[in-house]
Amino acid sequence: MKIKWFKTIDSTNNRIALDKDSLADKTVYMTDFQTAGKGQRGNGWESAKAENLLFSILFKPADILAEDQFIISQAVTLGIVDYVRSKGITAKIKWPNDIYVGDRKICGILIENAINGSSLVSSIVGIGFNLNQLSFSADIPNPVSLSMLTDVRYDLKEELLSLLHFIFSEYEKRSPETEERYAASLYRLGKPHTYIHTASGNTFTGSIKGVDRTARVIIDTEEGEKAFAFKEIQYII
């Protein structure tokens, strides 16, 4: 593992993508501040300077098929859940890869994979973990930080190393059990809630049952079990 720390950068995902051909597996780019942080669905990512963990990990797996690429997301999210648990806090995975404590978001993840034929060549995992920030913009939906939950202020370097330990531990031992543990850790698992079907704008009620081999979420609806791909549904929180 090699960590390169920036004071300010446009986006750790952007920078590590530019450098990835010359970098080794499990290289980490960390920054105090991002000027163009990226979130899911093309959204930005807000973070106060030197308050949170903003970093990207480059994975170069030699043994993951393209069809199994979701195992990266599963391993990373489970590692983060384990890290939060080590602080005495229960966290859940909001499919596909946000981390929630209760109904509040503590961590966002953006994963960008590169495929060559049937193999996963590289995976860039961008992580924004709310560590010490105590106030957020009003237009940021339901955020929370670890410090808000524990009343402790954390050292960024120490917590980065700890969080990476949990993530890499899950990455190294990934197996069918990883998939099972991911499903068991899902936010709103087995509980009826209302969702929005993105294409139609219609709402429906259903209970999350798990995910399938293609990373689609399985929801038990009034019309039976249905599988939804990323961006096909939205949570109402």
Same domain, residue pair 200 and 128: no
pLDDT of residue 39: 55
pLDDT of residue 208: 98
Is the overall model pTM greater than 0.85, yes or no?
Answer: yes
Same domain, residue pair 201 and 100: no
Q: How far apart are CA 54 and CA 145, in angstroms?
A: 13
pLDDT along the chain (237 residues), means of 10: 94 96 97 78 68 97 94 97 98 97 96 96 97 89 95 98 98 93 97 96 97 95 96 95
If we measure between CA atoms, which residue out of 91, 116, 117, 114 comes closest to residue 104? Answer: 91
Look at the block and give the residue holding tokens 């489970």: 78
Same domain, residue pair 147 and 223: no
Domain containing 217 — which CATH number?
Answer: 2.30.30
Q: Which of these three, 147, 168, 184, is where a domain ends? A: 184
Count of CB atoms situated within 10 Å of the CB of 204: 15
Q: Which helix (H) or strand (E) holds 82?
A: helix 70-86
pLDDT of residue 1: 82
User: How many domains are there within the chain?
Assistant: 2
Handedness of CA 76, 78, 84, 87 (dihedral sign): negative
Backbone angles phi, psi at 190, to 5 degrees: 70, 10
**Residue ranges making up the domain that contains 215:** 192-235
Same domain, residue pair 120 and 220: no
Same domain, residue pair 210 and 169: no
